[in-house]
Amino acid sequence: MKSYRVLALLPLAALLSACGDAREASESNFRSALQDDVGNMGPAICLEAPAPRLPFVMDKRAVSQNPDMADRAKRANALVEAGMLEREDLSDGRQRYELTDDGRDSYARAHGLEQGGFCFGKVRIEGVDSFTPAQAIEGGYTVSHVRYSYKVRDIPSWAEEDSLRKAYKGGLESLEDTQHKRAMMILTNQGWQTERRFAQ
């Protein structure tokens, strides 16, 4: 009977050991906290729409004379190729752009955008590259600085259009590559949280 009791406790002891302490400065705790925050922030990427309101009209003459308008037209036409917008040539020489059904599904006004955008993807934490030892700072907080890696998942096929990547330079380059960022983690009574999550 005693032997049976000892054997029955072994899996439980192993489980408790594997769980660890949520307050410990460890790779697993930081990764979990990062995924809980960064991984659930909503779409990973939003491409700002070429105009504040949709549908919108562009004048070819204005586009040819204004570099900013030319850049917007390039983005609008790339979104047409990607299937997010449809373009109609008007009788007065202007062009009218409006959302397609697919574009309507992806269009949103995300936080930080002055106007709506086409949003997609989810962030998945790939790992914690390094972190500093937990240390107390002014205010009574205990913090650790973390460098982590992540990837954008669930990338739709329309976002892989070459014309779209050229039109939105800097926004879609190296989209499939592993990215690296830094975050400050703060220790709470419920374990570690990102600084952004703690400030909410």
Does residue 7 lie within any of the structural domains? no
Asked if residue 197 and residue 169 are part of one domain, the reply reads yes
Asked if residue 148 and residue 186 are part of one domain, the reply reads yes
- pLDDT score at 2: 34
Asked if residue 138 and residue 194 are part of one domain, the reply reads yes
Determine the number of helices (DSSP H) and then strands (DSSP E) in the chain.
Answer: 7, 11
Domain containing residue 111: 45-120
Asked if residue 89 and residue 38 are part of one domain, the reply reads no
> CA–CA separation, 79 vs 96, rounded Å?
13
Does residue 76 lie within any of the structural domains? yes
Counting the structural domains of the chain, the total is 2
Buried b (16+ CB within 10 A) or exposed e, 2-40: eeeeeeeeeeeeeeeeeeeebeebbeebbbbbbbebbee
Does residue 85 lie within any of the structural domains? yes
Asked if residue 166 and residue 73 are part of one domain, the reply reads no
- Which amino acid is present at 2? K
Q: Tell me the helix, strand and coil percentages in the chain, rounded to 5.
A: 35, 30, 30
Please choose, from the candidates 114, 80, 112, 116, the residue with its C-alpha nearest in 3D space to the C-alpha of residue 95: 80
Bridge partners of residue 45, in order along the sequence: 120
Q: What is the DSSP letter of 96?
A: E
Asked if residue 88 and residue 59 are part of one domain, the reply reads yes
- pLDDT score at 13: 39
Does residue 13 lie within any of the structural domains? no
Mark which of 100, 120, 140 sits at the end of a domain: 120
- pLDDT score at 15: 39
Does residue 5 lie within any of the structural domains? no
Q: What is the DSSP letter of 91?
A: T
CATH number at residue 108: 1.10.10
Asked if residue 150 and residue 116 are part of one domain, the reply reads no
Does residue 30 lie within any of the structural domains? yes
Full-model pTM: 0.75
Asked if residue 112 and residue 60 are part of one domain, the reply reads yes
Beta pairing, strands 179-188 & 85-89 = unpaired
50 neighbors 87 (Cβ within 8 angstroms): no
**Residue 196 has which token pair?**
């952004």
Q: Which residues of the chain fall below pLDDT 50?
A: 1-18
Asked if residue 128 and residue 69 are part of one domain, the reply reads no
Mark which of 88, 120, 152 sits at the end of a domain: 120
Asked if residue 66 and residue 35 are part of one domain, the reply reads no
- pLDDT score at 199: 86
Mark which of 81, 105, 120 sits at the end of a domain: 120
